[in-house]
Amino acid sequence: MRKVVLVPGDGIGPEITDSAVRVVEASGAKIQWEKVEAGAKVMQEIGRPIPPRFFEWAIETGVVLKGPVTTPIGSGFKSVNVTIRQRLNLFANVRLVKSIPGVKALHSNVDIVIVRENTEGLYSGVERESSYGAVESVKITSAEASKRIAKFAFEYALANNRKEVVAVHKANILKKGDGLFLRCAGEIASGYPGIKFRDMLVDNAAFQLVTNPSQFDVIVTQNLYGDILSELCGGLIGGLALMPGANFGENIGMFEAAHGSAPDLAGKGIANPTGIILSAAWMLDYIGMKSEANKIRNAIYKVLGEGKVLTPDMGGNATTEQFTEAVIAALG
CB of 227 to ligand NAD, least distance (A): 8
Classify residue 140 by its DSSP letter.
B
Q: Which of 17, 19, 70, 141 binds ligand NAD (CB under 6 A)?
A: 70
CB of 251 to ligand NAD, least distance (A): 21
Distance set, CA 227 to CA 158, 167, 291, 296, 303 (Å)? 23, 14, 31, 26, 28
CA pair distance 282, 285, nearest whole angstrom: 5
Residue 313 touches ligand NAD, criterion: CB under 6 A = yes
Residue 83 touches ligand NAD, criterion: CB under 6 A = no
Specify whether the CB–CB gap between 196 and 163 falls below 8 A. Answer: yes
Binding segment for ligand NAD (CB under 6 A), chosen from 26-34, 86-94, 136-144, 263-271, is 263-271
Residue 303 touches ligand NAD, criterion: CB under 6 A = no
- Would you report the helix, strand and coil content of the chain in percent, each value rounded to 5? 45, 20, 35
**Would you say 261 or 324 has its CB closer to ligand NAD?**
261
Residue 92 touches ligand NAD, criterion: CB under 6 A = no
CA pair distance 326, 304, nearest whole angstrom: 10
Please provide the distance, in angstroms rounded to a whole number, between the alpha carbons at the two ends of the chain: 22
Q: Which of 156, 259, 281, 304 binds ligand NAD (CB under 6 A)?
A: 259
Which helix (DSSP H) or strand (DSSP E) does residue 149 occupy? helix 143-159
Which helix (DSSP H) or strand (DSSP E) does residue 4 occupy? strand 2-7
Residue 100 touches ligand NAD, criterion: CB under 6 A = no
Residue 69 touches ligand NAD, criterion: CB under 6 A = yes
Find, among 135, 142, 96, the residue nearest to 236 by Cα: 96
Binding segment for ligand NAD (CB under 6 A), chosen from 113-121, 206-214, 261-269, 288-296, is 261-269
CB of 30 to ligand NAD, least distance (A): 27
CA pair distance 247, 85, nearest whole angstrom: 8
CA pair distance 164, 113, nearest whole angstrom: 11
Residue 68 touches ligand NAD, criterion: CB under 6 A = yes
CB of 165 to ligand NAD, least distance (A): 24
CA pair distance 161, 148, nearest whole angstrom: 20
Give the binding-site size for ligand NAD (rule: CB under 6 A): 20
Residue 256 touches ligand NAD, criterion: CB under 6 A = yes
Residue 223 touches ligand NAD, criterion: CB under 6 A = no
Question: Residue 199 pairs with which residues in a beta bridge?
Answer: 167
Q: Which of 5, 65, 265, 293 binds ligand NAD (CB under 6 A)?
A: 265
Q: Which of 17, 19, 27, 81 binds ligand NAD (CB under 6 A)?
A: 81
Residues in contact with ligand NAD by the rule CB under 6 A: 12, 16, 68-71, 81, 240-241, 256, 259-265, 271-272, 313
